[in-house]
Structure 1
Amino acid sequence: MEPMLKDLFAGQSYNEKSFFLIAGPCVVESEELVMEVADKVSGICKNLGIPYVFKASYRKANRTSASSFTGLGDETGLALVKKVGETYKLPTTSDIHAHEEAAEAAKYVDILQIPAFLCRQTDLLVAAAETGKIVNVKKGQFLSGPSMKFAVEKIKNAGNNKIILTERGTTFGYQDLVVDYRNIPWMQAHQTPVVMDVTHSLQQPNQTSGVTGGNPQLISTIAKAAIATGADGLFIETHPNPAVALSDGANMLKLDLLGGLLEQLVKLRAAIV
């Protein structure tokens, strides 16, 4: 594990050869939810030796419908993400959508996540880099892995070498995504850890209902293939009851299914490392 990640997970006991996990609910819905998810996932990861980053969006700025839930308010959402980190001794992450959000969010989280749709936004990448935090850039659904070198260059040119890249599927027609696993080694060639966003790669966007659909029954398939092709980490959104989740419920993993999946993935990782 490279120094950036060793520093990030310094407070956790883990298997040096394991993949790391970024997981949590899509958005901060309530204190009760984020604490429940963090408690369950951190316990599973500790038992399996998996380094863990808690994830929840403090605000969702890219909802399909104007009537969709966007958050509890920036300060409230960020404070709850920070509280999770402090309570469970975990690194945390949340996404930002504009350059002016970077410095404020950096006060609360350890990793700034750049949404896929915004991975070419130079001012956003530079602002995130200038905070000195780790910057996790999701590959745009419209880009190849090799073309992500330009996002990496923008961040490095701003004086920050702490970069993660995340694969999250490629647009296939108007309402579906496919995963090209060549992007994992292609993006690792940029000298960054590469994460597979398992749940977002199963989205079915642009539905006429205004609510994104998904194929959660394929979460295990996508995750196993990512581990088999050498992903450094996995990104999985999870919720106790995805049917009532306020964002991305159609592609999230039910919380009580996470432990069994991770056990399989740890065995798979051990078999190929």
Structure 2
Amino acid sequence: MIFNGIDHIRHNESDNFFLLAGPCAIEDETLALKIAERIVRITDDLKIPYVFKGSYRKANRSRLDSFTGIGDEKALKILRKVNETFGVPTVTDFHSAPEAAMAAEYVDMLQIPAFLCRQTDILVAAANTGKVVNIKKGQFLSAGAMKFAVDKVRESGNSNIVITERGTTLGYQDLVVDYRGIPEMKESNNCPVVMDITHSLQQPNQLSGVTGGKPELIETIARAAIAVGADGLFIETHPDPANAKSDGANMLHLDKLETMLKRLTILRQAVNQL
């Protein structure tokens, strides 16, 4: 499949939002293909431009014994297979500048983790691959401060940029979404803005060493994001969140995705008419 960067997801005949969705981490090939097949069918029916998401490695873990991945090359090859099997672009996050070129060989979009969104060498390395760069807003940053992260990528010669809102730290163990930031980042940076629904519902820094979450509020966050003009949604989903190897506490059960997306598509149509 030929992926035409931002235009591929920003301009579509249905004028719908686009979707970045998949498991938190690549656990195995069978599961990744199962999830991708289900979401491809749903998004094709609803005319939602779709990008499959999966992390080839989880670097930011609370405990040393937490699951981090099945091996970089093995996971990246699975991401490539998703693309080749279903004809959809893929996105993954990476964690150091040298990894950018490695990951870019396998995926269409590179994601900058929120905690790393100020790291100049990582932003420049992503820009230099020529891939679409999705910068997740740090939990510690204002919407306005994201201009400087965007500028680093743009001034490095890459204008294929997406910004993802994922909530702002509230105290030690919670996050809150400031929806004013979505239109602000769209206007000031002239690039699509995505709402990362599931990560914005995390409850980090639990004493157990395992991040908690509020998945019952996923549709609430999604509706509000669509209402204020988000261009895309980011949703981590799994057929068995309770037994997922990473971030199961805040993931959407795959069986609930289709009904929710149908309702959100209706809402998007209403917003477009305003």
Fold conserved between structures, TM > 0.5: yes
Q: In the superposition, relative to structure 1, how do residues 85 and 168 fare at CA in structure 2: closer, same or farther (>3 Å)?
A: same
Query: Could you tell me how far 1:213 is from its partner in structure 2?
Result: 0.1
SS at match of 1:87: helix
1:89-125 C-alpha deviation (Å, 9 max, x unpaired): 0000000000000001000000000000000000000
Query: Could you tell me how far 1:8 is from its partner in structure 2?
Result: 5.5
Residue 167 of structure 1 corresponds to 165
Query: Could you tell me how far 1:7 is from its partner in structure 2?
Result: 3.6
1:18-61 C-alpha deviation (Å, 9 max, x unpaired): 00000000000011110010000000000000000000000000
Report the Cα distance in structure 1 between the residues aligned to 2:108 and 2:84, rounded to whole angstroms: 12
Query: Could you tell me how far 1:9 is from its partner in structure 2?
Result: 8.2
Of 40, 43, 58, the residue aligned with 1:42 is: 40
Residue 83 of structure 1 corresponds to 81
Query: Could you tell me how far 1:155 is from its partner in structure 2?
Result: 0.4
Residue 7 of structure 2 corresponds to 6
Task: Describe how 1:242-261 pairs up with structure 2 within 5 A.
Answer: 242-261=241-260
| 8 Å CA contact 1:164, 1:193 repeated in 2 | yes
| 8 Å CA contact 1:37, 1:240 repeated in 2 | yes
Query: Could you tell me how far 1:4 is from its partner in structure 2?
Result: 3.9
Report the Cα distance in structure 2 between the residues aligned to 1:68 and 1:62, rounded to whole angstroms: 10
Report the Cα distance in structure 1 between the residues aligned to 2:98 and 2:211, rounded to whole angstroms: 28
Letter in 2 for 1:199: T
Letter in 2 for 1:182: R
2:205 maps to 1:206: yes
Report the Cα distance in structure 1 between the residues aligned to 2:156 and 2:103, rounded to whole angstroms: 18
Report the Cα distance in structure 1 between the residues aligned to 2:129 and 2:198, rounded to whole angstroms: 28
Runs of at least 5 residues in structure 2 that lack an aligned partner in the other structure: none
Query: Could you tell me how far 1:157 is from its partner in structure 2?
Result: 1.1
Report the Cα distance in structure 1 between the residues aligned to 2:62 and 2:224, rounded to whole angstroms: 29
2:214 maps to 1:215: yes
Letter in 2 for 1:218: L
1:213-248 C-alpha deviation (Å, 9 max, x unpaired): 000000010000000010000000000010000000
SS at match of 1:145: coil
TM-score scaled by length of structure 2: 0.96
Letter in 1 for 2:15: K
Report the Cα distance in structure 2 between the residues aligned to 1:79 and 1:43, rounded to whole angstroms: 22
| 8 Å CA contact 1:9, 1:91 repeated in 2 | no
Task: Describe how 1:1-273 pairs up with structure 2 within 5 A.
Answer: 4-7=5-8, 15-189=13-187, 190-273=189-272
Report the Cα distance in structure 2 between the residues aligned to 1:42 and 1:206, rounded to whole angstroms: 34
SS at match of 1:146: coil
Shift >2 Å, 4+ stretches: 3-10
Report the Cα distance in structure 2 between the residues aligned to 1:152 and 1:9, rounded to whole angstroms: 18
Runs of at least 5 residues in structure 1 that lack an aligned partner in the other structure: none
Identity of aligned residues (%): 62
Report the Cα distance in structure 1 between the residues aligned to 2:226 and 2:9, rounded to whole angstroms: 21
Report the Cα distance in structure 2 between the residues aligned to 1:7 and 1:166, rounded to whole angstroms: 17
Number of residue equivalences: 268
Report the Cα distance in structure 2 between the residues aligned to 1:243 and 1:108, rounded to whole angstroms: 29
Letter in 2 for 1:187: M
TM-score scaled by length of structure 1: 0.96
Report the Cα distance in structure 2 between the residues aligned to 1:101 and 1:74, rounded to whole angstroms: 10
Report the Cα distance in structure 2 between the residues aligned to 1:145 and 1:188, rounded to whole angstroms: 10
